[in-house]
């Protein structure tokens, strides 16, 4: 007999979903059969599997050891210990902006994937798990039924705030907020040209999966609808520092949308201006788009969390070098728009 006491990490999910992960090699029909026969019980009682698990609930599985071994993964989850020196350094310097029992917000650096693109990638997701295990907030065996995860994605070369769920509740709340667009998401960037007025631009977006590139057209087709709001903060006659609010959130939306109105992001080699990019690469060694997820306001079920990231060093150096940073700019960026 196996007894499982539900931790806070696994609370707020249905019993059958939890069992499908724990007994990962068993057909769902078999799990329901075991529930009907009371070979699996919840708090000493029969369950149909639809019960929502709570912290300290007790699941008992009345299987022989060999049967249990057959239907579980048979090996503990592993965390990749073969991180390159670069990622080891990033892990040690992983910048946590805010953390509580359910949520963790991390300031992602440029160059780090949010989630794996290939099996051998090391992403923020793996570093998050390594961080929580190192802290003692997560055990290796927990990974059989629950994996903390990022809830919003940033491009590899976009820095800034990534929201992560440490528990099922945290994942559910954050995922719902992003899906329902109830969170306020602000970015900062520098674009070519001068913009002086606050504007909201809209259109529709089409993605070319082969090129991993999107295009924007002037229409309001609901399926591909995008809306982007920007506020000019400062300009030097050639370039403009913008604070951008994502009303919708599509692939490459800020980059493609601003490029479509002839104000591409500085350093954007996919949608930007080649001569402008070459200037910033030569002068500042800038190799990627100047874009950071600067502010995130989350109105959650049990609390409100307002997060701001730091402006990356290279970004700030460029602002100062181009005369876009002076007293009062930080306050303007942090002000409500």
- pLDDT, mean of residues 210-230: 80
Distance CA 294, CA 188 (A): 6
Q: What is the pLDDT at residue 77?
A: 42
Looking at the chain, which residues constitute the CATH 3.30.2350.10 domain(s)?
76-173, 183-334
Q: In this structure, which topology does domain 76-173 adopt according to CATH?
A: Pseudouridine synthase (3.30.2350)
What are phi and psi for residue 315, nearest 5 degrees? Answer: -55, -50
Q: What is the pLDDT at residue 271?
A: 95
Determine contact, residues 11/54, Cβ cutoff 8 Å. yes
Q: Is the pLDDT of residue 177 over 50?
A: yes
Kindly give the pairing relationship between strand 40-42 and strand 149-150. unpaired
- 3-state SS class at 201: strand
Task: Please report, rounded to a whole number, the percentage of residues in the chain having pLDDT higher than 70.
Answer: 93
Domain 2-72, CATH among 2.60.40.420, 1.20.1250.20, 3.10.290.10, 3.65.10.10: 3.10.290.10
Q: Is the pLDDT of residue 125 over 80?
A: yes
What residues form DSSP beta bridges with 41?
60
- 3-state SS class at 246: strand
Distance CA 301, CA 198 (A): 32
Closest CA to 170 of 2, 337, 7: 7
CA 92, distance to chain mean position in Å, is: 19
Q: Is the pLDDT of residue 92 over 50?
A: yes
What residues form DSSP beta bridges with 190?
241
Query: Which of the listed ranges 18-32, 70-84, 209-223 does the model predict with the highest average pLDDT?
Result: 18-32
Q: In this structure, which topology does domain 183-334 adopt according to CATH?
A: Pseudouridine synthase (3.30.2350)
Determine contact, residues 250/260, Cβ cutoff 8 Å. no
Looking at the chain, which residues constitute the CATH 3.10.290.10 domain(s)?
2-72
- 3-state SS class at 127: helix
Q: Is the pLDDT of residue 75 over 50?
A: no
Q: What is the pLDDT at residue 283?
A: 97
Mean pLDDT lowest for which of 122-136, 212-226, 319-333?
212-226
What residues form DSSP beta bridges with 165?
103, 149
Closest CA to 3 of 58, 78, 50, 44: 58
């Amino acid at each position: 007999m196996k007894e499982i006491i539900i931790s806070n990490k696994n609370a707020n999910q249905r019993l059958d979903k939890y069992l499908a992960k724990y007994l990962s090699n068993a057909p769902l029909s078999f799990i329901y059969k075991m529930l009907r026969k009371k070979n699996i019980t919840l708090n000493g009682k029969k369950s149909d599997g639809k019960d929502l698990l709570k912290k300290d609930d007790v699941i008992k599985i009345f299987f022989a050891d060999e049967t249990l071994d057959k239907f579980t993964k048979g090996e503990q989850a592993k965390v990749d210990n073969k991180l390159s020196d670069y990622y080891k350094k990033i892990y040690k310097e992983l910048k946590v902006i805010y953390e509580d029992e359910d949520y963790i917000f991390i300031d992602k650096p440029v160059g780090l994937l949010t989630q794996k693109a290939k099996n051998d990638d090391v992403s923020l997701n793996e570093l998050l798990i390594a961080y929580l295990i190192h802290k003692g907030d997560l055990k290796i065996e927990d990974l059989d039924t629950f994996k903390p995860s990022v809830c919003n994605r940033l491009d590899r070369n976009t820095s800034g705030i990534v929201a992560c769920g440490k528990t099922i509740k945290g994942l559910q709340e954050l995922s719902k907020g992003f899906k329902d667009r109830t969170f306020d998401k602000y970015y900062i960037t520098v674009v070519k040209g001068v913009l002086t007025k606050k504007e909201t631009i809209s259109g529709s977006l089409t993605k070319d999966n082969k090129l991993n590139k999107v295009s924007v057209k002037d229409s309001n087709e609901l399926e591909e609808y995008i809306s982007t709001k920007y506020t000019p903060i400062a300009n030097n006659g050639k370039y403009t520092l913008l604070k951008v609010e994502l009303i919708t959130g599509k692939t490459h939306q800020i980059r493609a949308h601003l490029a479509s109105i002839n104000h591409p992001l500085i350093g954007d080699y996919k949608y930007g201006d080649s001569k402008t990019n070459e200037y910033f690469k030569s002068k500042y060694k800038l190799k990627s788009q100047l874009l950071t997820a600067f502010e995130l306001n989350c109105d959650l079920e049990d609390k409100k969390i307002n997060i701001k990231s730091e402006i990356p060093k290279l970004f700030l150096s460029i602002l100062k070098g181009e005369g876009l940073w002076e007293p009062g700019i930080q306050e303007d960026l942090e002000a409500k728009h």
